[in-house]
Structure 1
Amino acid sequence: MNKVRTMEEMPLSGFHFKMFAYTGGSAFLDGYIIGIIAVALSVMQLQFNMSLTVMGLIGTATLVGMFVGGMIGGYITDLIGRKTMFIIDLLVMALASILQFFIDDPMQLVVLRFILGIAVGADYPIAGTLMAEFSPKKNRGALLGGLVGLWYIGYAISYLIGYFMLSIGDASWRWMLLSSAIPALILLFARLNMPESPRWLANKGKEKEANAIVRKIFGEEVIMSEEPETKEKTTFLDMFRNGYGKWMLFVAVFWSLQVVPTFAIGTYIPEILAQFGFANGTREYLGSAVINIVYLAGLIPALYFVEKYGRRPTLIWPFLVSSITLFVMGATSGLNLSFALILVLFIVYGTFNTGMGIHQWIYPNELFPTHIRGTAMGFATGISRIASSIGTFFFPSFLAHYGLAATMYVCGALFFIGFLVSLFMAPETKNMSLTQASSINKFSSLKQDSFTSNKTIN
């Protein structure tokens, strides 16, 4: 008789990569939608003669929408199901993308970009929960972390599409904004064939349906989990109760501390390189291109190390290395270092910083149980987007008023605080089942109770 195995013990298969493609579309669309607006605005502003305020509203509407979408989307996902929300979300995304083509007033675009942001923000918690709930425990970190790479791919492709569409002429911006409907519709039709999460079904008391999905995908001798899925009602505030508030604080803080310098520096890399003394010619743009390529390349070793060495070291030490690198940049900003040396410092910073970014998808999906997994991921996504928008907004003003050295010191200090937070708070969830990872508080309490009882008896 064959040994019964759980779906978390199954080896990587074509099904897992198919789920990665389904869920990775969320990160891809996020990068694409945020990137394409920058190119479209360069053409659009000439036709509408928009003020800086209106342009700022268009640029930030998506981020504000993502905050709202993350906050409510994850909660609704836990209530009505992963697949259902995945379909509704993409319908909204595709429709809003199409409607952008027909606007005749910039404020209409502000509204549509806000709606797009809601849809993208809601897609994050759905994607993360589905990928986590279907992943083998030995590969879950790499699969979740790999989703980050698709954001960079979407962002890069949006600039290429926008560049080639410039030749269309005055109406090119309409086609650029419409173009996000194409990947949204492709992903929508692909997701129609995907299964619902067995863990979510079991949590809602539908064990028979959950087990049928597991057997259909993995075989008759495979079960969902050795640990029974608890049937708990989804309540928004549960992510702050029963010890989960500590994990929510940890996730929200480390994620925000990581993205504030990342988005700020990433947005203004050419200006930063110019202040290092490379404003002549095209070297600052060459440097920007190389740096952004390295951002993506930095994920490759991180996806290996997160499974070999664990979550804690691959978050803690990159925070420290990124911090030290920025401190060095600040200290040497007035020394006229060579272009190659500055580029090396940025490459070191970019490699480690992007590598630790994979934990944005890993920790929130591992530390919370099924009934609030989407809620927690959505809340953390919303907080991080507000933090990143604030950092990006104030960065150029701070750089102008206080100079390059002070700016690098502040960014380095934020990373150093992230290092301390991670050092004292980051748990290790490597090779744990989802039930074990989301029950660390309970296990700790049981150990403490046992220790206290033994001490009393002795």
Structure 2
Amino acid sequence: MAMTPVTDGPDASPQATAARERARLHLRLKAATQIGQGLDGYVIGGIGVAMSALTADLGLSTLEQGLVGASPLIGIFFGGPFFGWCADRFGRRPVFMVDMLIFLVVSILQFFVADGAQLFVIRLVMGLAIGGEYAVGAPLLSEYAPSKGRGRLLSTLEISWYAGYALATVVGAVFASVDGGWRWSLSSGAVLALVCILLRGGVPESARWLLSRGRTNEAQVLIDRYGIEVDADAELADGVAKPGFRALFSRAHLRATVFASVFWAALVLPYFAIGSFWGEVFEALRMGDNAVAALLLYSFTAVAGVSLGCLVVDRIGRRKLLIPPFWITAAALALVALFPDVTPVVVGGFLFFIFLNAASSALTAVYPLEVFPTSLRTTGVGFAAAMSRVGAAIGTFLLPMGLEHFGASFVLLLGAGVLAIGGVVSHFLAPETTDMDLAHSARTVH
């Protein structure tokens, strides 16, 4: 039985009121979630610009550079599953506020670090908060989104990630000539966190989550108020009494867990590793002496790519946006690795990789949410986010040492191999979930 908004006879005013309430909620929730998603990109982009300056100021070794670059990704490994479990067990709304409060505090603390160890710990905690954001932000937005057009709505979150990355690059470039400017650029994320906290006040609990926990009366109040259409029977049937990690590896959900984790990790590992140490890659490929300008080009090409992904995600379907770009981007990185002295190949290959990789990454805010039931959604998304950042953290940690000992071509060939693995796994496991109700899309991977 589908639960639909209650109206009073021929009077359409309750429907109109619900539509206005829904529009306001969607706007507030979308803005609050987009800023949260953008903060992850802001953290990664900011360290890419600041790394050279803070390395000189703090006297970091190559090992310490790798640890500082990878620390938020390591934090996500723990924060995603933990906060995801909390959001499935206790509700979306509390986690939605707590993770951003943590981010606000640690962003400010970056300004006062005295050595690499302090910066590592602070950015590790920052990663915990980002993990919570991945686990709860997009799932909460998806649970209030209509089935039709849900892909475009959710994929715009990835635009925010790349926009945050690009904004951090610009802010870092502005402070690059200032003595100790990296402190200002890294801690500036606190401003975005404060705005996000203000937007999140008053956001209601997820009606779908309430249904999955058997709290039908509370869910019906929200359904009536916001005019939500939801298959209540499916949500109730897919509920898990005690959500936890064990359920992710049950026969019913193992396929979804493997797919969401592997495709996400394969997409982001090359991008994070290369982006965090773009200056070093740029220098290793002997591409000139203006690494900041190259990083800006890198960032804005990614924004263009993810924007295209958002436009086509509901038109061509999830599988077509994911699988072919895996193979094309793998070939692009391989060409750059094999012909590092041919400037057109290097520039064209990198731009092609960045553009298509970003286009496919629009799905990281869509696919994981659609393959898990509501009762396990944030646990599953948090775990998949953690697995994606494990690979990204390993790549970010090892890249500077790989460049030093083996050179850029070897590193890029490894990146191409990771993308190829993503293509194979997605070919066999990726379902088509376009325009399906969330409760139904989760059943396509059983």
Q: What residue number does 2:312 align with?
A: 305
> Separation in 1 of the partners of 2:172 and 2:293?
19
Q: What residue number does 1:114 align with?
A: 124
Q: What residue number does 2:169 align with?
A: 159
Residue 169 of structure 1: CA displacement? 3.8
CA 288–53 in structure 1, closer or farther in 2 if over 3 Å, else same: closer
Query: Which amino acid in structure 2 is aligned with residue 298 of structure 1?
Result: G
Give the alignment partner of residue 33 of structure 2, picking from 23, 26, 29.
23
- The answer to whether residue 337 in structure 2 is matched with residue 324 in structure 1 is no
- The answer to whether residue 380 in structure 2 is matched with residue 372 in structure 1 is no
> Separation in 2 of the partners of 1:325 and 1:48?
36
Residue 242 of structure 1: CA displacement? 3.4
- Residues 1-400 of structure 1: matches in 2 within 5 Å? 13=23, 15-39=25-49, 42-45=52-55, 48-104=58-114, 106-165=116-175, 169-170=179-180, 172-218=181-227, 223-225=229-231, 227-230=233-236, 231-233=239-241, 234-279=243-288, 281-282=289-290, 285-333=292-340, 336-337=341-342, 339-400=343-404
Query: Which amino acid in structure 2 is aligned with residue 24 of structure 1?
Result: Q
Q: What residue number does 2:5 align with?
A: none
Query: Which amino acid in structure 2 is aligned with residue 139 of structure 1?
Result: G
Contact 2:106–2:122, Cα closer than 8 Å, also in 1 = yes
Moved more, 227-236 or 121-130: 227-236
Q: Percent identity?
A: 32
Residue 273 of structure 1: CA displacement? 4.8
Residue 274 of structure 1: CA displacement? 4.7
Contact 2:103–2:126, Cα closer than 8 Å, also in 1 = yes
CA 169–15 in structure 1, closer or farther in 2 if over 3 Å, else same: same
| CA-based RMSD | 2.9
Matched pairs, number: 429
Deviations 1:18-51 (A, max 9, x none): 3221111222111223333455555555555455
SS in 2 for 1:278: coil
Residue 331 of structure 1: CA displacement? 3.8
Contact 1:211–1:224, Cα closer than 8 Å, also in 2 = no
CA 179–245 in structure 1, closer or farther in 2 if over 3 Å, else same: same
> Separation in 1 of the partners of 2:24 and 2:337?
47
> Separation in 2 of the partners of 1:286 and 1:174?
21
TM-score normalised per structure 2: 0.86
Moved more, 426-435 or 108-117: 108-117
> Separation in 1 of the partners of 2:66 and 2:196?
30
> Separation in 2 of the partners of 1:276 and 1:167?
25
Deviations 1:63-101 (A, max 9, x none): 211111012111111111111111111122212223344
> Separation in 2 of the partners of 1:321 and 1:435?
33
Residue 379 of structure 1: CA displacement? 0.6
Deviations 1:140-181 (A, max 9, x none): 1112222111112112222333343456644x4444443222
Q: What residue number does 2:435 align with?
A: 431
SS in 2 for 1:431: coil
CA 205–421 in structure 1, closer or farther in 2 if over 3 Å, else same: same
Residue 133 of structure 1: CA displacement? 0.7
Q: What residue number does 1:456 align with?
A: none
Query: Which amino acid in structure 2 is aligned with residue 244 of structure 1?
Result: H
Residue 55 of structure 1: CA displacement? 4.4
Query: Which amino acid in structure 2 is aligned with residue 296 of structure 1?
Result: V
Q: What residue number does 1:419 align with?
A: 423
SS in 1 for 2:240: coil
Residue 14 of structure 1: CA displacement? 5.2
> Separation in 1 of the partners of 2:183 and 2:268?
30
Larger Rg: 1
Deviations 1:337-363 (A, max 9, x none): 3x4453223222222111111222212
Contact 1:70–1:125, Cα closer than 8 Å, also in 2 = yes
- Residues 440-455 of structure 1: matches in 2 within 5 Å? 440-441=444-445
Residue 214 of structure 1: CA displacement? 2.3
Residue 377 of structure 1: CA displacement? 0.6
SS in 2 for 1:308: helix
Residue 405 of structure 1: CA displacement? 4.2
